[in-house]
Amino acid sequence: MGRHDRAVTTTTVFSMAVPLDDAALVRAAQSGDRTALDQLFRRHYDRVYAVCWRITGNAADAADATQEAMIAMVRGLDRFDGRASFGTWAYRIATNASLDELRRRRRRPMVNGRDADHNHDLIERADPTAVERIEHLGDRYLIDAALETVPEDFRLAVVLRDVADLDYAEIASILEVPVGTVKSRIARGRGLLATTISRANGNRGNASDRPTTAPSANDDTNNNDTT
């Protein structure tokens, strides 16, 4: 579809009192409607960024991947045929952009900015009352660190399910694997994450204060690790 009939489509978008669904916005954007594209991006930006964050593991790479993904969406907008939802299509692009970003990152030297304990100590010295407030931040670091230990195939499946909120069929379409494989990868990925986080919480010595995130079947292992 060409993008030279902008005036007509813009009028249509502005004349609608009810927010348009993604499909209508996509059609308008394909016709050259800038406003429709803006609405689409505003609707999906946060989740696309979250997917990129969870795959790349840090804000800078996530921002780069998200930007690349949005540019790729613009370039591919004319080819989007609506067979899948815009969200599925967008997360597929975001996933690929994130993986590209990871590959680029592997080729360049990087300073480790994820030393949670180091950050914790620095903050505690600067503002002792802030420790409680940053516990949640610590959990985020734990999640990020745990995600990095999970094999990429499992990580992608879990992120697309738990962050992008896609169903198994959509994930299977994005990852180009059978639904059964998706189901297995999600389960294994979750198990690995839960185990890793449980161990990390045990290492921090305050596991009893946190909600249980590890299966009880692994408790013995965790206890062994901490003793």
Partner 1 sequence: MTDQANDELNSQQHELASAYLDGVATSAERVQVESSAELLALVESFGTLRTNLADTPRATSGARGAAFAAAFAEFDATLTNDQALTDAPTAAIIPLSHRRRWASPLMSVAAALLLVGIVGVAVKTFSGQDSKSSSANVDSNAKIEAADAATSAQAAADSTAPSVTIGSIGGGAQAALIIETPQQLLALDNTAAADTYAPGVGAPESTAAASETTAAGAATMPSDTFRTASLARPALDCLTDQQIFLADIQYQGTFAIAARDTVTGVTSAITDDCTVLASVGP
Binding site for partner 1 (CB under 8 A): 2-4, 6, 32, 34, 37-38, 41, 45-46, 49-50, 53-54, 59, 62-63, 66-67, 70-71, 73-75, 139-140, 143, 147, 158-159, 161-163, 165, 168, 183-184, 186-188, 190-191, 193-194, 197, 211-218
Which residues lie below 8 Å from residue 29, measured CB to CB, with a gap of 6+?
A: 36, 37, 40, 77
Residue 147: C-alpha distances to residues 65, 78, 156, 160, 183 (Å): 17, 34, 10, 13, 18
Choice between 128 and 216, CB closer to partner 1: 216
Could you tell me the smallest distance in angstroms from the CB atom of residue 220 to partner 1? 9
Choice between 18 and 99, CB closer to partner 1: 99
Distance (Å, whole) CA 10 – CA 48: 25
Could you tell me the smallest distance in angstroms from the CB atom of residue 212 to partner 1? 5
Could you tell me the smallest distance in angstroms from the CB atom of residue 129 to partner 1? 21
Instruction: Give Dmax over CA atoms of the chain in angstroms.
Output: 70
Task: Count CB atoms within 10 A of the CB of residue 224.
Answer: 10
Choice between 12 and 184, CB closer to partner 1: 184
Could you tell me the smallest distance in angstroms from the CB atom of residue 71 to partner 1? 5
Beta strands in 61-117 (DSSP E): none
Could you tell me the smallest distance in angstroms from the CB atom of residue 5 to partner 1? 10
Choice between 128 and 209, CB closer to partner 1: 209
What is the 8-class DSSP label of residue 27? H
Choice between 24 and 195, CB closer to partner 1: 195
Choice between 84 and 219, CB closer to partner 1: 219
Residue 132: C-alpha distances to residues 87, 142, 175, 213 (Å): 36, 16, 39, 20
Task: Count CB atoms within 10 A of the CB of residue 172.
Answer: 20
Which residues lie below 8 Å from residue 96, measured CB to CB, with a gap of 6+?
A: 69, 72
Could you tell me the smallest distance in angstroms from the CB atom of residue 22 to partner 1? 16
